[in-house]
Structure 1
Amino acid sequence: MLGLRERKKDESRPRGVAPEGDGGDGVPRGRPPGRWLWVAGTALLVLALHSNWHVALAAWLFPVFLLRYARLRPARYGLLRIGWASASATLLWLVSTGMVFVPTVVGVFAVLAVLQTLPFVADRLIGVRSRSVLTTLVFPTVLVGGEYLFAELADFGDFGVLGFTQHGFLPLIQLASVTGVHGVSFVVAWTASMAHWVWQGGLPRPRVRRGVLVWAGVLAVVLGAGGVRLLFFAPVTDTVRVAGVSAGRAAERDTRRALDRIDPEGWRPRSAVGAAPERVRKALAPVADDLVAATDREARAGARIVVWPETQAGVLEGDQRRLLGRVAAIARERRVYVNAAYGLYLRQAPYVRNLSVLLTPEGKVAWTYDKAHPTPMETMTPGSGNVPVADSPYGRLATVICYDADYPELMRQAADKGAGMMLVPANDWVGFESLHAQRAVFRSVEYGYAMVRQSVNGVATAVNPQGRVLGMADYFTAGRQTLVAEVPVQRRTQTLYGETGAVFAVLCVAGSVAVVGFGLLWRRGRRSEESGTGERDVLK
């Protein structure tokens, strides 16, 4: 009868809930813990995504609730729900940025969602076995390790990095000059892990006090050093006036209408092949003419460097020399550097090149650079990935194009070549208008150069080597987007990250491997114990 009652009691328990008591692994049994932990953590996770609506504070908070939920629920249920939350948040981000319609992107970000769940798995595996303060390092270590592996293996830039949400926290992001953006991710994730360690309770007060003091000391050093860098190692006071120009809305509208008449299904680069050259030339003229006029206007107003946006202008292969000749004439007359960017339409596949061409005050071409990392939506042959540099009275200049800036090793080339200012033509889109500009802040801090990023269909920014935004112009709030900023004139600021690269992130990968190894050894040891216990029971 007793056995029957116990069996009925077990059958009345909700499916997926462990028996009451403690199973020896530190996980409470009995009633499932409040689902509010999962709801709160998931809501904060959505706010923590680096999106147009992201809230920097949410990145510090969401792991606290999800870590607690993962510890309290049986692993196969709690971790599965956290994985579902990560996948749902990622899908929402893809929808908001318009990239959900690109199958390649969806597949890559599905892998990212799995990697973002692994830190919770690692904490659940190791954290419930030990209450040492050292276990608080498991979550941030595996998180950073996953971020780095995704960037290295997926060949999709460094998306999914938690630290990017802190782009406006200047004292903290100075850490990127030592560790790269991954160090910022680590600090944010460790803070959440430490908060959960204190929240779980059951620890002697002296141990809690020592642990919190260690964390607080590290955070104080990070923020203090960042503050010192901002106050006492500011860029030099000599500046050069830089202008980013975009064609006005009226010129864009005229060009778009003319191109749509040539190809009613929507203008594509290959459409230029079958069309009459004169029709295409006339259709492209309004934007190109407006950019040339804007270049002359800003040069007359005092700009010494002028930057065009990515592919807003288009030109037929046979007309390229004429366009560059017009820009070179302005460069010679006004004694300015002009980084002209445009799409060059070809008569053979892939029918377009995405170019950045620097014209010097002597009217000469200092570089011709092809975009090295086209997005999955762009059908073009990638460039060589050799970042060009050119000496000028305003420091050594360099360039990449838009998405290229999401690849830290490509951006490191400019630092290795001593560039003091990076000129970045860009072209974003609704849903992504601010994200690239915010991410670019970290490249300046990591490598110690200023950056001027002129983005049509997005936010154009000028940033100094400490990540301070010197100027900003939003394409969507202006009839004619023009960015004007006084940018420091200097050699590149030496940074530890620029010299050593992603050493910190690699160490986190090694730490992640160690965590996995420790977890496997623990499981093997537990199975051995259970096997030995069974044998002893039989002998009895």
Structure 2
Amino acid sequence: MALISVPSLAAVLIPLVVLVTTMFGPGLLQTSPMPYLSIALTLGYLDRLGPWSRASIFPTLYLILAIGVGSGFAYAGMLQMGDEWIASDMGPMFAIGIGAGVLQVLAFFTHLAWQHRFLPQERFQEGARALLATLVGPAVWVALFTVVYAVSPIGSYGSIAYSQYQFEPLVQWASVSGISGIEFLVVWAAVIIHRCWSRYARNESHLIDEAKSWTALETPSSSSSQEQVPTFQHHSSSSRSSTRRLVRRILFAPTPTFLLVFLFVFIYGSMRFWNATGTFFQKPLTSTMIPTVRTSCVIGNNDDSNMPLYLNQTHELAQTGSKIIIWSETATTVNTIQERDALWATAKNISQTYGIILGVTYAQALEDRWGWTRNMYTLFDEQGNVLFEYQKANPVAMVETTVQAGPQVLPVADTKYGRLGDAICFDLDFPNFMAQGGHQEVDILLQPSWTWGSIGRLEAMMQSFRAVENGFTLFRCGSWAPSTAYDPYRQLLGYKENLSEGTFTAEVPLRRHVKTIYSVIGNTWGYICCAFAILAVILVLLPQRKLEDLSAKVQGAVGRRSRCEDSEATLPEHGDQAA
């Protein structure tokens, strides 16, 4: 078989459409329906190629390149710090995109290999086997990206779950299974779209062939003048299969099952969102209002010369009733322990004077490592005591290259406003790290942040998923980005865009931690998909002879069980006859 063949027009155009839909999928240009179309087209393209054919090598590489280029454009400008466009910053984005393309292709190779092996002649049959075949691709996808998110220096960046942020009922599913559950549903939906389209094309082709056969039958034969009438054999459904098998085929039909699952997810998400204030059933506003605490942030830009401005703004916010005040990420810099102590003394004085909780942020130079810093955040209570001192655990890859990572421990402190937690900016892109907030039942998470270029809005949107997953209220103080406040149901409490200076205030409800399924079981769904994916790969790679032996053993065991059930069912009849 030739390695290179002349491609058809569809073989050239479909990857280009995948490129465009990928560009408008996860990333800075998010359009929620695009991932469904992109994945369905990718699956259809690979299905037509035949994944194990040598001739499919170059078309597959072409598809991966298209996904990589689309992903590169989707995140173009991620590393752009200033106003000038730097083309060289696109390289890492393209490389990451190609890596994501390889993972997607691997997931669908496994999916198609399963179908070709276990549904060779009945790809669109109904029943449990067909339903199981639609789950292989989503499970392998989730498994691969679960591993990636666990080890990647950029965390969960690129997850297709974030592209669904406009579909609020679907976002609420993160409270059950995290972003892995949303990813599974999106990929499953794309698989069903491909299945329905393929089935439609298959039926249309069958109808055309049937019409041709009827035309041939109606044409008079030269050898016989007698009209030939086609005969049909009618078979009842009972003759084709038992009642039990028929019921099983109906219950496990892939498309209806998917629609029922999606309907359940949307009902759950909608009810969770609208009942966030506890209004069920028709409760008046007076019985559902939650007390609030005025929470504010001071926007800084890591400039020592602006320290008087930050302090004056902190005084003004405290005087106007703010009870919790934090600074944005690395608002200032301290080069020595003495400078840090001086900053602490000032912060303690403000906290004691106004009786507020104050969080100050600073970049602390390492005395034993020239040019390196720690990204620090210290929280003081109303008496000026240090509640915790936190060092950013996940510095930004390719940006904070000289920032020392801190321990992978999320700090918490109990106050009269509830249990407060903290994480700094990029920390919230790591779901496994942030799961500590759910395990420790944090009520309010205070997040200093700093972003750049065009990614500020994307970061604020992505990180709001952590509030849904872990059941806490998220107060985000962002420099060069939106400052936001979200409750555990992702209802927006406040939003303001700032550059390098300014303030932001929101009335944050004193809501206790909301227990979520995800906060109890963590990323269990992702791990289940990992186990299922491993099993699927083993069965796909298993030699045919061993697979047949295994299948015979399973069928034998099922047959023996069925015979036992039948014999038990006939025992009363024999007993009645004996009587």
Offset of residue 474 of structure 1: 1.6
In structure 2, what is the Cα distance between the partners aligned to 1:410 and 1:35? 42
Offset of residue 106 of structure 1: 7.4
Is 1:381 aligned with 2:404? Answer: yes
* Matching residue of 2:332: 313
Contact 1:112 1:150 in 2 (8 A): no
Contact 1:32 1:73 in 2 (8 A): no
> Which residue of the other structure, out of 17, 33, 36, is the alignment partner of 2:13?
36
Is 1:327 aligned with 2:343? Answer: no
* Matching residue of 2:106: 118
The structure with the larger Rg is 2
- The code of the aligned residue for 1:39 comes to L
* Matching residue of 1:81: 62
Is 1:340 aligned with 2:317? Answer: no
* Matching residue of 2:5: 16
* Matching residue of 1:439: 462
User: CA offsets per residue over residues 296-335 of structure 1, 9 Å max, x none?
Assistant: 2222222211121111322232222222222222222222
Quote the RMSD (CA, aligned, Å): 3.0
> Which residue of the other structure, out of 287, 292, 304, is the alignment partner of 2:306?
287
Is 1:508 aligned with 2:529? Answer: yes
Is 1:177 aligned with 2:165? Answer: no
> Which residue of the other structure, out of 365, 373, 376, is the alignment partner of 1:352?
373
- The code of the aligned residue for 1:165 comes to S
More moved, 503-512 vs 379-388: 379-388
How many residues are aligned here? 468
In structure 1, what is the Cα distance between the partners aligned to 2:481 and 2:460? 8
Is 1:240 aligned with 2:240? Answer: no
Offset of residue 361 of structure 1: 1.1
Offset of residue 111 of structure 1: 3.8
Offset of residue 483 of structure 1: 2.2
Question: TM-score w.r.t. structure 1 length?
Answer: 0.79
* Matching residue of 2:265: 222
User: CA offsets per residue over residues 284-307 of structure 1, 9 Å max, x none?
Assistant: 1x3222111111222222221112
Contact 2:295 2:325 in 1 (8 A): yes
- Going from structure 1 to structure 2, the CA distance change for 1:408 and 1:335 (only over 3 Å counts) comes to same
Offset of residue 492 of structure 1: 1.2
In structure 2, what is the Cα distance between the partners aligned to 1:109 and 1:57? 19
Is 1:69 aligned with 2:45? Answer: yes
Offset of residue 195 of structure 1: 0.8
Gapped runs of 5+ residues in structure 2? 81-87, 124-129, 208-248, 279-288, 550-579
- The code of the aligned residue for 2:172 comes to Q
Contact 2:332 2:362 in 1 (8 A): yes
Offset of residue 430 of structure 1: 0.5
Is 1:488 aligned with 2:464? Answer: no
> Which residue of the other structure, out of 429, 432, 453, is the alignment partner of 1:406?
429
> Which residue of the other structure, out of 391, 404, 407, is the alignment partner of 1:370?
391
Offset of residue 347 of structure 1: 3.4
In structure 1, what is the Cα distance between the partners aligned to 2:165 and 2:377? 27
SS of the aligned residue for 1:471 comes to strand
In structure 1, what is the Cα distance between the partners aligned to 2:361 and 2:528? 39
In structure 1, what is the Cα distance between the partners aligned to 2:186 and 2:100? 19
Contact 1:98 1:431 in 2 (8 A): no
Offset of residue 388 of structure 1: 1.5
- Going from structure 1 to structure 2, the CA distance change for 1:127 and 1:32 (only over 3 Å counts) comes to farther
* Matching residue of 2:133: 135
- The code of the aligned residue for 1:115 comes to L
* Matching residue of 1:90: 71
- The code of the aligned residue for 2:527 comes to V
In structure 1, what is the Cα distance between the partners aligned to 2:456 and 2:6? 45
Offset of residue 116 of structure 1: 2.9
How many percent of aligned residue pairs carry the same amino acid?
A: 25
- Going from structure 1 to structure 2, the CA distance change for 1:491 and 1:407 (only over 3 Å counts) comes to same
- Going from structure 1 to structure 2, the CA distance change for 1:374 and 1:105 (only over 3 Å counts) comes to farther
SS of the aligned residue for 1:430 comes to coil
In structure 1, what is the Cα distance between the partners aligned to 2:10 and 2:73? 27
Contact 2:68 2:96 in 1 (8 A): no
More moved, 73-82 vs 313-322: 73-82
Offset of residue 419 of structure 1: 1.2
Question: TM-score w.r.t. structure 2 length?
Answer: 0.74
Offset of residue 32 of structure 1: 6.5
SS of the aligned residue for 1:465 comes to coil
SS of the aligned residue for 1:294 comes to helix
Is 1:49 aligned with 2:29? Answer: no
- The code of the aligned residue for 2:264 comes to V
- Going from structure 1 to structure 2, the CA distance change for 1:187 and 1:527 (only over 3 Å counts) comes to closer
- The code of the aligned residue for 1:291 comes to Y
> Which residue of the other structure, out of 465, 481, 485, is the alignment partner of 1:462?
485
Contact 2:476 2:483 in 1 (8 A): yes
Offset of residue 189 of structure 1: 1.2
Contact 2:539 2:547 in 1 (8 A): no
- The code of the aligned residue for 1:61 comes to L
- Going from structure 1 to structure 2, the CA distance change for 1:413 and 1:180 (only over 3 Å counts) comes to same
In structure 1, what is the Cα distance between the partners aligned to 2:94 and 2:368? 30
* Matching residue of 2:242: none
- Going from structure 1 to structure 2, the CA distance change for 1:17 and 1:527 (only over 3 Å counts) comes to farther
More moved, 218-227 vs 40-49: 40-49
* Matching residue of 1:164: 162
* Matching residue of 1:149: 147
User: CA offsets per residue over residues 84-119 of structure 1, 9 Å max, x none?
Assistant: 222223333454312864998876665444223322
User: CA offsets per residue over residues 332-367 of structure 1, 9 Å max, x none?
Assistant: 222211111111234331542211110111112111
